[in-house]
Amino acid sequence: MAPRVLSIVAVVAVAVLALGGGILLRQVIDTRTPVAANVSVDLGAPFALVDQNGESITEAAFQGRPTLLFFGFTHCPEVCPTTVYDMETWLADLKVEPGQVGAYFVTVDPERDTPADLRAYLEPQSDMVVGITGEPEKVWDMARSWRVYWQKRPLGGGDYTLDHFASVFVLDADGKVADLIAFQEDPETAKAKIAAVLG
């Protein structure tokens, strides 16, 4: 009898392990693609980088007020200027006061994008969106902590472009992800997501 009990115990143990593994995997998948509305996922990690004015900036910038967070690069003719334009338009339409919402553009191309590049790129496009760059490894660590995907793609002649995650994170005043706005999302739903964290 004893061997039989043992084998039942073994089967149950394997089943429990498999179930646990499945749940674990599910959690990993869920946090990798936090696309569901109103998910509060723990993303981000402490960082020490520089903004477009050369001032140091840390994760504290995402505390105390809602934040829009986007990862892009300045050699980006399409998605990045469109997103900057949209962020600016949403905030203007919502009549957000200066400083009431933080808006950041973190470069995923820190090897090329200096603070001055980001400033020259962003200032003419926006009064609100501030660029973030820094030592490449530190910038990439920061992007990884938000589980952002990016990948260099050669264009020939040593030039390259980047594929990248192109949604905008909507963070609440505690710096937690409240929502995501997809590229070229309907402006009304985008603004509703921001209005929700404005309270």
Partner 1 sequence: MRYTAALAVLFMSSASSMADMILLGDLHIDRPMLRETPPNATVGAGYLTVVNTGDSDDTLTGAAFAADVAEDVHMHRMAMADGVMTMRAVEGGIPLPAGETVTLVSGGDHLMITGLERPLTAGESHEVTLAFEKAGEVTLDMPVMTLGEIRAASEGTAPMDHTAPASN
Q: Tokens in use for 115?
A: 């603070």
Residues whose CB is less than 8 angstroms from the CB of residue 127 and which lie 6 or more positions away in sequence, other chains included: 88, 98
Residue 16 parent element (H or E) = helix 2-32
- Closest approach, Cβ 74 to partner 1, in A, equals 7
74 close to 109: Cβ distance less than 8 angstroms: yes
How many residues sit close enough to partner 1 to count as binding (CB under 8 A)? 31
Per-residue binding letters, 140-169, with partner 1 (x by CB under 8 A): ---------x---x-x---x-x-xxxxx--
Q: Does 133 bind partner 1 (CB under 8 A)?
A: no
Query: Among residues 76 and 139, whose Cβ is nearest to partner 1?
Result: 76
C-beta separation of 56 from 50 below 8 A: yes
Instruction: Determine if 82 is a binding residue for partner 1 (CB under 8 A).
Output: yes
Q: Which of 142, 87, 134 is nearest to 115 (CA)?
A: 134
Encoded tokens for 129? 């969106």
Q: Which of residues 33-62 bind partner 1 (CB under 8 A)?
A: 33, 35
Q: Give contact residues for partner 1 (rule: CB under 8 A).
A: 33, 35, 74-79, 81-82, 85, 117, 120-122, 124-125, 149, 153, 155, 159, 161, 163-167, 180, 182-184
